[in-house]
Amino acid sequence: MGKVHVFDHPLIQHKLSYIREEKTGTKEFRELVDEVGMLMAYEVTRDLELQDVEIDTPVTKMTAKRLAGKKMAVVPILRAGLGMTDGVLKLIPAARVGHIGLYRDPETLQPVEYFAKLPQDIEERDFIVVDPMLATGGSAIEAINSLKKRGATKIRFMCLIAAPEGVELLKEAHPDVDIYIAALDEKLNDHGYIVPGLGDAGDRLFGTK
């Protein structure tokens, strides 16, 4: 069963409080989402494999540790996932980036895929799917379905804020996927928005309405 990790790091909680606030404008919102994306990536990559390498320090030879050449890919769910992507890439700059475009049908709240472009060597890569919001769970489930259909086997999901309903459905649909969350909120409202949440992540990131 995939694990659910909820971050309690003070820096993440501090920044998240500004991200949530209604009066935070687009520029600051974007910067903060980027920073939290980077901080979360530090934890999400904690179990990456290391290998021994022989190096010379100015003083002596030693056996040091380096990443075992693991091939990584970050996959933002469009649009709002884009806001977390650069933060993750600051820590793993060699990662490939795939894109999956989904929107929620406003009537049914069901996700509809409108775009998918992924790296070619899918089977060999470790994927981190990023999206600020896990609400009903539909978008994350569908994005991961889409990745698996194309051959991905090792997938993590990372978001800023999740509703308990979405976490349960995602765990059920993809029990092999570890879920990383900065805050687990109270519930969903009748429109499928997370309460207390942060509002519409895409609109707040891109200044649309």
Minimum CB–partner distance for residue 111 and ligand URA (Å): 11
Interface with ligand URA includes 193 (CB under 6 A)?
A: yes
Binding site for ligand PRP (CB under 6 A): 77-80, 103-104, 109, 111, 131-140, 166, 192, 200-202
Of 28 and 176, nearer to ligand URA (C-beta) is 28
Nearest by Cα to 180 from 140, 136, 120: 140
Query: Is-catalytic flag, 200?
Result: yes
CA distance 71 to 125: 5
Q: How many Cα atoms are found within 13 Å in the side-chain-facing hemisphere of 42?
A: 10
Catalytic residue among 105, 121, 176, 203: 203
Minimum CB–partner distance for residue 131 and ligand PRP (Å): 5
Between helices 10-20 and 26-44, what is the axis angle to 10°?
A: 150
Query: Is-catalytic flag, 185?
Result: no
CA distance 49 to 73: 15
Q: Which of ligand PRP, ligand URA, none does 193 bind, CB closer than 5 to 8 A by kind?
A: ligand URA
Single-letter code of the amino acid located at 203: D
Of 50 and 195, nearer to ligand PRP (C-beta) is 195
Q: Which of ligand PRP, ligand URA, none does 166 bind, CB closer than 5 to 8 A by kind?
A: ligand PRP
Q: Which stretch binds ligand URA (CB under 6 A): 37-45, 61-69, 110-118, 199-207?
A: 199-207
Task: Say how many C-beta atoms besides its own lie within 10 A of residue 76's C-beta.
Answer: 25
Token pair belonging to 90: 């600051």
User: CA-CA distances (angstroms) from residue 135 to 2, 5, 131?
Assistant: 18, 16, 10
Options 32, 33, 133, 155; binder of ligand URA; rule CB under 6 A:
133
CA distance 155 to 144: 8
Residue 137 annotated as lining a ligand binding site: yes
